[in-house]
Amino acid sequence: MRYCDSIFGHLLKPISRRWFDGVVARHKADAYDKGFRSWDHLTLLVFAQLGGTGSLRGLEAAWNANAHHHYHLGVGEISRSTVSDANARRPLAVFSETFAMVSRLAGRQLRREGEAMLSLIDSSPIPLGQVIDWAKWNGRIRGLKLHVAYEPACDNPTHFDITDANINDMEIGEQFPIKPGFTHVFDKAYCKYRWWTAIHEAQATFVTRQKTTSRFRAISWRKLKKRSGDGFKIIDDAEVKFVSKGDSKLSIPMRRIRVRRDDGSKITLVTNDMERSAVEIAGFYKTRWQIELLFRWIKQHLHIRTFIGRNPNAIRLQLIAAMIAFVLLRLAACENLVRIPIIRFAGLIATRLFIRAAIAQIDKPLDVHPSHAFPKYSIDQMEFCYA
């Protein structure tokens, strides 16, 4: 019988075992948990994300009940105590480097030609509630923050970080790499003039909202060839100069674009892009909502609201596993030319993880009738018959 991998096995194929073993050896990640290796741990946490398991007890039961289906992955039965110990002390770097590897792969395979090179930067709160006593309070929630840089042209989160909820967004945003030729789009929380200058000097551009405390003086008005965009109209477009009485300095060329949305609200954008039209720049800022949709999708369809551990390391491992699972789903959908919506695709994956079938046929009924499930002879040999 010809071997056919499971759906879950297909999803994990972008992660090279040889490469992964090298990362594990470099970080000595199996030093204290030799009976439960890093590969076992990664496989289990990704399974928890895709399979909808929200507790350690449920994860143990679901995994061990399917032992005859996942032996080909090289992971045996598990116990809650073993997983709990590994969650507490396994280095985060192994999982973080795995995410970076699959994200680079997705960036090459999923990029859509002809789309603008945008990098959207934002953060989203991860509430942990009163049960987690070590979580920090930021005035709104007690928990963590997930900081993400996301490229909409390939629907791919390229970088992320996990911090306490009381960490300022700007502290993490300026640590993300600046990509020459890209337009970096972010909200007014990321206001730091030294960082804006670094983006400009790296031959990149940015688009953001103007803070009410920022002062700019118009030095010339730009002619508008087009005023209307998708859901907004341009009020005016001016080249501006930063004005401040303090030590703050911003010597790069800047533009201020005032926009009226269709609902009547107004926003003011600032940018160092002196070439593109005002409508195009306002459209870039509107694209920022795609990262909000990313956060919503992850929170609704993966499991970062309930956790299978309570210590900081366990929760961070689960969040990293969620990001890895998202990228693996996007890669699988692209490589197998899946035409169904990604929400439905993720739902089908959850119900068919251990089905031995091609991902491209995941929305088709399985033909398991015993009379014609498989030929009784080898397909590589001739069939003899009597006249």
Handedness of CA 245, 249, 255, 261 (dihedral sign): negative
Under DSSP, the state recorded for 130 is T
Q: Report pLDDT for 215.
A: 87
* Distance (Å, whole) CA 140 – CA 170: 18
Q: Report pLDDT for 277.
A: 95
The residue type found at 221 is W
Q: Report pLDDT for 20.
A: 96
* Distance (Å, whole) CA 187 – CA 181: 20
pLDDT score of 69 more than 80 = no
Q: How far is CA 28 from CA 22, 33, 41, 93, 342, in A?
A: 10, 10, 14, 10, 36
Q: Give me the residue label for tokens 């996301």.
A: 150
Mean pLDDT of the chain: 88
Question: 3-class DSSP state for residue 141?
Answer: coil
pTM of the predicted structure, to 2 decimals: 0.88
Question: 3-class DSSP state for residue 91?
Answer: coil
Q: Please count the other Cβ atoms lying within 10 Å of the Cβ belonging to residue 36.
A: 20
* Distance (Å, whole) CA 319 – CA 307: 9
> How many residues are there in the chain?
387
Q: Percent of the chain at pLDDT above 70? A: 92
The pLDDT tens digits for 194-241 are 999 999 999 999 999 999 888 889 999 999 989 999 999 999 999 999
